[in-house]
Copies of this chain bind each other. A is one copy, B any other.
C-alpha cells in the first residue's frame, strides 16, 4: 500500500493477486500447522498482536501473505466441502456488507437490508411451497436446525419455554445418515443426545418411513414421548434425500413437528428437474436451507424457513425496551432470531440471486447434479475405482481398489494436487467428492479422477474396512 493509496485500493490489489494465484496454483502447498506458522512468522513477524501497533500498510501486507497461503476453497481442485467456487456478485455483496456493518435486529439500523431479508426469505418460502411462511437468516445450518428443534420441542410441550423440561422421556427421529448437529442440538436443548433415534436407511441412504413409524410406535409403547422428526434433504456424505411425502404422513399420523434439514439439498427446490427429490416439501413445518453451499454464496448464508408465519416470534421473541421500539415491527427481525446482534448474511445472496435469476440458479443446480452423475459414470467406467452408490445429488462416494481412502486424500493434499475428504459409509472408508463449484466442468472431473488414480498407484495397498459406528 502506497501513501496515496486508500485501503480499498489495496484490498482490490490483494484480491486480484489472490484470484491470479488461485488460477496459477489451485492448491496451496501442504504445510503442517507448525511449518505454516514458521513460514508466516518469517514473512510477517509474530502472529500474536504486539504491544505496539503497526502501519495500515504493514497490516495489509500481512493480510496478503495470509491470503496467499490460505487453502483455495474456490478453486477447481477443491472437492473437500459442500461449498466451493466464487460467484463474483455474491463476493461483492459480502465485501460491501463489511463496509456497511449493519446489524439485522431492527429496521432502524438495518434499513434496506431488513427489507432484503424479508424479500429473500419470502422468495425461498415460495420455493418450498409455503403460502404463509416466513424465514430468518441464521449463522449456519446447525443453528438453523437448533432453532427448528427448539420450536418443535416447545410446540410439543407448551410449558417448556417458560418452565423448563419436566423430566418426561422424549425422543427425536432422524436417519442414521443425518448431520451430527441433530445429536449435538438434542444435547444442547436439554433433550439429551440419547433422545435421538437413528432410523434405518435404505441402500441409497434414505430414511425408511416404515422404520420411522415403527420406532415412534415402539417409543410410545415404552412411555417415551416423540417430539419431532427430522428428515434430511441431501445427507452430508451420500447426498441422499429422505422421502418427505411418506415421512410427512407419519408425522401427521403421530402429530409431530417435521423439520427438513435441507442445508445441502434445499437447493433442489430451485430446479424443476430435481424438485421431485423434495416432493412434499411444503408439508414440513420447517426447513433449513444453506445458500452458502450449492448457491455459491460466501459463508454463511443459511436460512430457516417455517410454514406458519408468527411461529418464529412465538418462540424467540423477547421484550427489550432498549432495542425494539416498534418503528417497523414487521421488519425488526431480531424478534424472530435466536441471536441479538446479527451480521448481514442477506446482501450477498441478494446479489447472487439477482445475477443468476431463478433460471440461472436452476441451471447451476442441474449442472452440479449432472457433474456428480458424470463423475459416478466415470468412476464406474474406470476399473481402478469403485462407486459406493449412485449419487442422488452432488456428492460422489467411491474407493480406489485396494487402496486406503484416507491415505489417498492425504497424498492429494500433500502433493498439492487436489483437496478432497474421506468419510465412512456402511463400514467402509470412502472418498467423498463434492461437486459444489458451479464453474467446474467435466474436464475438471476427469482431471481429478485421473489424479486420484495416479496418486493411488503410488500408495501401499490397504483396506478401507472400518468399524461400523
Contacts and interface: CB of A to CB of B under 8 A. Distances in A.
Contact of A6 (B16, B139, B190, B355): B16
Contacts of A74: 101
Contact of A71 (B36, B60, B109): B109
A12 B455 CA distance: 42
Interface in A376-406: 406
Interface string A344-363: 10011011011111111000
Interface stretch (A160-168, A204-212, A273-281, A366-374): A160-168
A73 B89 contact: no
Given A321-B469, A351-B63, A103 B115 contact: no
A440 interface: no
B71 A108 contact: yes
A69 interface: yes
Interface stretch (A191-199, A248-256, A442-450): A191-199
Interface stretch (A128-136, A214-222, A305-313, A421-429): A421-429
Given A95-B95, A179-B340, A73 B101 contact: yes
Interface string A178-197: 01110110111111111100
Contacts of A120: 49
Q: For chain A, which range describes its interface: under 10, 10 to 19, 20 to 34, or 35 or more residues?
A: 35 or more
Contacts of A282: none
Contacts of A358: 49-51
A86 B99 contact: yes
A113 B316 contact: no
B164 A47 contact: no
Taking the full assembly, how many copies of this chain does it contain?
A: 2
A5 B163 CA distance: 59
A83 B101 contact: yes
Contacts of A180: 318-320, 340
A74 B100 CA distance: 8
A224 B194 CA distance: 25
A120 to B, nearest CB: 8
B33 A114 contact: yes
A459 interface: no
A176 to B, nearest CB: 13
Nearest to A145: B340
B107 A298 contact: no
A142 to B, nearest CB: 5
A469 B322 CA distance: 12
Given A190-B164, A356-B53, A339 B423 contact: no
A54 B95 contact: no
Contact of A102 (B15, B71, B189, B354): B71
A413 B108 contact: yes
Interface in A1-28: 6-12, 14-16, 18-19, 28
A66 B112 contact: yes
Nearest to A397: B322
A410 B107 CA distance: 13
A93 B187 contact: no
Contacts of A167: 165-168
A284 interface: no
Contact of A140 (B63, B92, B321, B341): B341
A175 interface: no
Given A71-B108, A109-B71, A469-B321, A341 B98 contact: no
7 contacts: A12-B12, A53-B354, A55-B355, A62-B351, A190-B190, A300-B341, A319-B469
Given A11-B12, A139-B143, 11 more contacts: A36-B111, A52-B359, A80-B109, A83-B101, A86-B101, A101-B299, A140-B341, A164-B170, A189-B189, A321-B424, A327-B410
